Structure 1
Amino acid sequence: MNLAHMLTQNARRFPDRPGFIWGERTWTWREIDGEVNALAAALAARGIGKGDRILVHSKNCAEMFWSLFAAFRLGAVWVPTNFRLMPEEIVYLATSSGARAFLCHGAFPDHAAIIAERAPAVEFTWRFDEGGFGETSVGEAIAAHRGDSVPLCPVEHDDPCWFFFTSGTTGRSKAAVLTHGQMAFVVTNHLCDLLPGTTEQDASLVVAPLSHGAGVHQLNQVARGAVTILLPTDRFDIEEAYRLIERHRVTNMFTVPTILKMLAEHPAADRYDHSSLRYVIYAGAPMYREDQKTALRKLGKVIVQYFGLGEVTGNITVLPPALHDPEDGPAARIGTCGFERTGMQVSIQDDEGRELAPFQTGEICVIGPAVFAGYYDNPEANAKAFRDGWFRTGDLGHIDEEGFVYITGRASDMFISGGSNIYPREVEEKILTHPGIAEAAVLGVPDPLWGEVGVAVCVAREGVVVTEEEMLAFLGPKMTRYKLPKRFFFWEALPKSGYGKVPKRMVRDELEARGHLAEMGVKS
């Protein structure tokens, strides 16, 4: 099935129910279906058809959402970017994806200019919102074709619908090819494992960019006819988020741990009614236990964790609300990211691809219908990513005897000090039990004696002063000496990616920029 058919289904079953809310504007499912049809007709008139790639660089907005389904309807491929990327980076995404069209938010004229100059395969640029660039605006293109209809393009299971760019933490981003058949399974699985019971009575608040995980999450809402609500601006306004939750009786959200932490710790959580929430999903990175406890005590047992990568569209493990407990004890599955998703299989493997016994640490590998079709035009990356049919996640971890998966960390994050493996996440968890520490990142840096040693970058809670000596004294009784970081640095904030993660690469770059590595004798 072409995924755009979900809109047509909603327009038939729920024509007058709200399907999308942004600020004070509400669109019904009938109106959304009409907007998407008009945009698809406009793109078709410009020569876009099956298999063509449409590069989309935009903040969250209604027309960006329409463009997703217009691409699907045409059998074209939606190629969204992180809107925080620099113009030079967008050129690479345009050329590596083979994009023929560029839809760009009006706030990014420099991106449009460099595409026109350096990406000759891109035949035209249309803009979202106001701006003085581009052949036309998406709104004008829709208006010119309003009332037109484009038949659903027939698609096969393996026809691509979305190029999901990796975050590029270990090099240049790669385009993971997501297909209509794969995504149909992912939507069904998300509704089964993450959001059971979702119907047209539900409401979903978007607090993350639609270009990645939040966009996938909203497909689930469309599949069940639930309304999608955007924040009125691209700034993450926590007060406004709670106001919308109360006003629209929001039942679910997709977040990352940093966003969930901010929501749970903000005073607005005590001023607004959020009792309608049933599923607050967090993914993209493991959530530290202390932050889990805070979220559970503030929001209740509504949080859902899933583990996955863009290449598997999040579809590896799930830890449902019932298995989250605010108190440490037998009922709390501390440290796990959950069990295998329905229809998926996880294997912990050594470097030769042999499956390891329970509790042995190795690479987390996965197989099943949610795994992507491979990286676009990148046989070398595909050869590294797959082994005997298994997708290699690059994450380290183990499985217990009941099948619960525990992530130790990224293989690239692990470092070796004095011949012993050190997993930063384990150290970070211990650091965060200190009542004065809000955030922490640990990484290994070169050392002439030990090979590598740990460095901890911490963010103290507001109004609290914590010293290096205090942290060493606090951690000393809690962990083996060789795991103790050699140095502690205290910053006002940790660097974060556009999706709220804390890439160790960015922390390392900032350590170098501040001169901390040089003072430790580390050569750049």
Structure 2
Amino acid sequence: MTTTCQAPKGGVAPVSKRVMNLSHFMRKAARRHRDQIGLVWGEKTWTWAELDRRIDAMAAALAARGVTKGDRVLVQSKNCNQLFESMFVCFRLGAVWVPTNFRQTPGEVAYLGHASGASVMICHSDFPDHVAAVREVAPDLREVISIGASSFGTDYDTLVADYAGQAILPASVDYDDPCWFFFTSGTTGRPKAAVLTHGQMAFVVTNHLCDLMPGTTHQDASLVVAPLSHGAGIHQLTQVAAGAKTVLLTSDRFDIEEAWALVARWRVTNMFTVPTIVKMLTEHPSVDQHDHSSLRYIIYAGAPMYREDQKHALRKLGKVLVQYFGLGEVTGNITVLPPALHDLADGPGVKVGTCGFERTGMQVQIQDEQGREVGPGETGEICVCGPAVFAGYYNNPEANQKSFRDGWFRTGDLGHVDEDGFLFITGRASDMYISGGSNVYPRETEEKVLQHPAVAEIAILGVPDKTWGEVGVAVCVLKAGATLSEQELLSWLENKVARYKLPKRVFIWDELPKSGYGKITKKAVRAELETRGCLPLDQPSKISA
């Protein structure tokens, strides 16, 4: 996948686009902050120098087993120090890090192993079935390493001990050399491997420090509340670049009480998460029982944050919220809404509902179906270009053809920009439905429903209807102790949105299905509606379950 630049006019020969190997971030932290803590997990801590030595040793162990530049290393693990290290081990060798969401099934992980062409697998000892599944379908797999004692592979820490003291020179890499296969969530089909490169990621890290958390240094600390396999991993790579320590929760279970206790103990200054987790953190009683005055940035992404949830978080924490919009393919690097623009009050000049303005070095354009730019206020597909855009999908020319047009990456999200260049997301193109000939974007109605004092969470999706073509179906979760009927909510909503935007049915559930990263996904909600017998609508329905 390495490319060379084209010769400009004047006859200058193409040159290699040599860039820094991303593992140098760790090396630099170890040199500058040698004896300072770089990683915390429970009662265990590692200094930057210790981490760098462990990474060298593991890289030497993999090199001895034939791992070279370009090899793909599949990693199935809960958050732990070995998972954290494995990213830099792969980078140092010039290999490609292929992390999974540890909550995926053996079959799902087997698909990732096959699709990536993995030759090595690092797997936590809790997942022997995943190893067996990968071995069945990944013909290039030649080595399995176990995090913890197991029957399926050599122990990771044993290898670190065996190869201790062996230094590894980072592999030489060019701008477009792949470093990470970032698998999409697969909400519209099979997950695809977005190829992230050393040069691209160096820009992303710089941009994160510039736009999301300016002023971050080795004196800061970051709490991890999501799997390091995806967005949280990019966030932690940024922390290493700044020399800021990373703090892991003690287990894979999200413990809100522990999270706030760790914020207080380690004087945590930033964390990355999704809106539903921010909501959980700020609605839990422990938010008032621990000192969180050290927090400067709570960065949320993955979905827009509902306005009512945003207001509650601002009341609890002050102006520390940072929103960014970005897909894995653009490495979270499209827009930013900094703390100063998160206002508690709705009033003149307040941009309610925006996900911010373009990130430094990136350009956003709203395009119609023909790829023409539309004017301010007009809805179209959000397209983006700039150095944060990925190199393309691995071994998937059809997906690449669909995702790029005239050099623009097509996000598949719909939205508009205002006269000031602020972006407003209407929703996924796939979320929109057409009822009676009118386009309906569920996001608008969802925002209205969340203003009802009894409603905690909401998801609205379009379903087939014999009369109108499609109609909306809403699934709500109520606040603790609240009661609400379908008819009461529809009556309350009637004068707040146009009639064609009203959901035809409302279902009240105890909880909404969420992805492994804490996001509500319409695909999972639809599947659950079908499982519960709520769809199709022309059969007897269950109002609640």
Bin for the TM-score computed over the shorter chain: over 0.9
Supply the distance in 1 between the matched residues of 2:171 and 2:28 (Cα, whole angstroms).
16
Cα offsets for 1:280-328 (capped at 9, x unmatched): 0000111100000011101110010000000000000000000001111
Against the structure 1 CA distance between its residues 56 and 177, is the aligned structure 2 distance closer, same or farther, given a 3 Å change threshold?
same
Which of 228, 231, 238 is equivalent to 2:256? Answer: 238
Aligned to 1:402: 420
CA contact (8 A) 1:323 1:331 kept: no
Within-5 A mapping of 1:115-264: 115-134=134-153, 136-264=154-282
Q: What is the RMSD computed on CA atoms of the aligned residues?
A: 1.0
What secondary structure, in the 3-state scheme, does the structure 2 residue paired with 1:164 have?
Answer: strand
Which of 297, 316, 338 is equivalent to 2:356? Answer: 338
How far 1:483 sits from its partner (Å)? Answer: 0.5
Asked if 1:484 corresponds to 2:510, the answer is no
What secondary structure, in the 3-state scheme, does the structure 1 residue paired with 2:401 have?
Answer: helix
Asked if 1:375 corresponds to 2:358, the answer is no
Supply the distance in 2 between the matched residues of 1:84 and 1:322 (Cα, whole angstroms).
36
> Where does structure 1 differ by over 4 angstroms across 4 or more consecutive aligned residues?
none
Which of 493, 504, 508 is equivalent to 2:511? Answer: 493
CA contact (8 A) 1:58 1:105 kept: yes
Supply the distance in 2 between the matched residues of 1:522 and 1:184 (Cα, whole angstroms).
55
Aligned to 2:63: 44
Supply the distance in 1 between the matched residues of 2:138 and 2:94 (Cα, whole angstroms).
23
CA contact (8 A) 2:117 2:138 kept: no
How far 1:127 sits from its partner (Å)? Answer: 1.0
Cα offsets for 1:140-185 (capped at 9, x unmatched): 1111101111111000000000000000000000000000000000
Aligned to 2:335: 317
Supply the distance in 2 between the matched residues of 1:185 and 1:504 (Cα, whole angstroms).
32
Asked if 1:347 corresponds to 2:336, the answer is no
Aligned residue type for 1:346: V
Aligned to 1:58: 77
Supply the distance in 1 between the matched residues of 2:22 and 2:175 (Cα, whole angstroms).
11
Aligned to 2:285: 267
Which of 467, 482, 486 is equivalent to 1:464? Answer: 482
Residues matched between the structures, number: 522
Aligned residue type for 2:179: C
How far 1:330 sits from its partner (Å)? Answer: 2.3
Supply the distance in 1 between the matched residues of 2:64 and 2:221 (Cα, whole angstroms).
35
Aligned to 2:4: none
What secondary structure, in the 3-state scheme, does the structure 2 residue paired with 1:511 have?
Answer: helix
CA contact (8 A) 2:465 2:537 kept: no
CA contact (8 A) 2:475 2:506 kept: yes
Aligned to 2:93: 74
CA contact (8 A) 2:111 2:134 kept: no
CA contact (8 A) 2:368 2:381 kept: yes
Asked if 1:84 corresponds to 2:90, the answer is no
Supply the distance in 1 between the matched residues of 2:187 and 2:219 (Cα, whole angstroms).
39
Aligned to 2:24: 5
How far 1:132 sits from its partner (Å)? Answer: 2.6
TM-score of the superposition, structure 2-length normalised? 0.95
Supply the distance in 2 between the matched residues of 1:429 and 1:386 (Cα, whole angstroms).
31
Aligned to 1:114: 133
Cα offsets for 1:395-423 (capped at 9, x unmatched): 00000000000000000000000000000
Aligned residue type for 2:373: E
Supply the distance in 2 between the matched residues of 1:198 and 1:330 (Cα, whole angstroms).
32
CA contact (8 A) 1:447 1:522 kept: no
Aligned residue type for 1:226: A
Aligned to 2:54: 35
What secondary structure, in the 3-state scheme, does the structure 1 residue paired with 2:383 have?
Answer: strand
Aligned to 2:320: 302
Aligned residue type for 1:110: D
What secondary structure, in the 3-state scheme, does the structure 2 residue paired with 1:477 have?
Answer: coil
Aligned to 2:11: none
CA contact (8 A) 1:206 1:214 kept: yes
Aligned to 1:387: 405
CA contact (8 A) 1:20 1:227 kept: yes
TM-score of the superposition, structure 1-length normalised? 0.99
Supply the distance in 2 between the matched residues of 1:13 and 1:292 (Cα, whole angstroms).
38
Aligned residue type for 1:62: N
What secondary structure, in the 3-state scheme, does the structure 1 residue paired with 2:217 have?
Answer: coil
How far 1:361 sits from its partner (Å)? Answer: 0.1
For structure 1, which segment, 514-523 or 334-343, has the greater mean C-alpha deviation from structure 2 after superposition? 514-523
Asked if 1:95 corresponds to 2:114, the answer is yes
Asked if 1:291 corresponds to 2:309, the answer is yes
Aligned to 2:3: none
Supply the distance in 2 between the matched residues of 1:470 and 1:92 (Cα, whole angstroms).
46
What secondary structure, in the 3-state scheme, does the structure 2 residue paired with 1:409 have?
Answer: strand
State the identity %: 68
Supply the distance in 2 between the matched residues of 1:89 and 1:472 (Cα, whole angstroms).
39
Aligned to 2:457: 439
CA contact (8 A) 2:279 2:309 kept: yes
Supply the distance in 2 between the matched residues of 1:386 and 1:191 (Cα, whole angstroms).
28
Supply the distance in 1 between the matched residues of 2:30 and 2:521 (Cα, whole angstroms).
41
How far 1:519 sits from its partner (Å)? Answer: 4.8
CA contact (8 A) 1:446 1:522 kept: no
How far 1:522 sits from its partner (Å)? Answer: 10
Q: Which runs of 5+ in 2 are unaligned?
A: 1-19
Cα offsets for 1:114-138 (capped at 9, x unmatched): 222332211011111233321x011
CA contact (8 A) 2:73 2:97 kept: yes
Cα offsets for 1:267-288 (capped at 9, x unmatched): 0000000000000000011110
Aligned to 2:532: 514
Supply the distance in 1 between the matched residues of 2:168 and 2:348 (Cα, whole angstroms).
56
Supply the distance in 1 between the matched residues of 2:185 and 2:508 (Cα, whole angstroms).
26
How far 1:518 sits from its partner (Å)? Answer: 3.6
How far 1:192 sits from its partner (Å)? Answer: 0.2
How far 1:233 sits from its partner (Å)? Answer: 0.5
Aligned residue type for 1:376: Y
For structure 1, which segment, 272-281 or 84-93, has the greater mean C-alpha deviation from structure 2 after superposition? 84-93
Q: Which runs of 5+ in 1 are unaligned?
A: none
Aligned to 1:419: 437
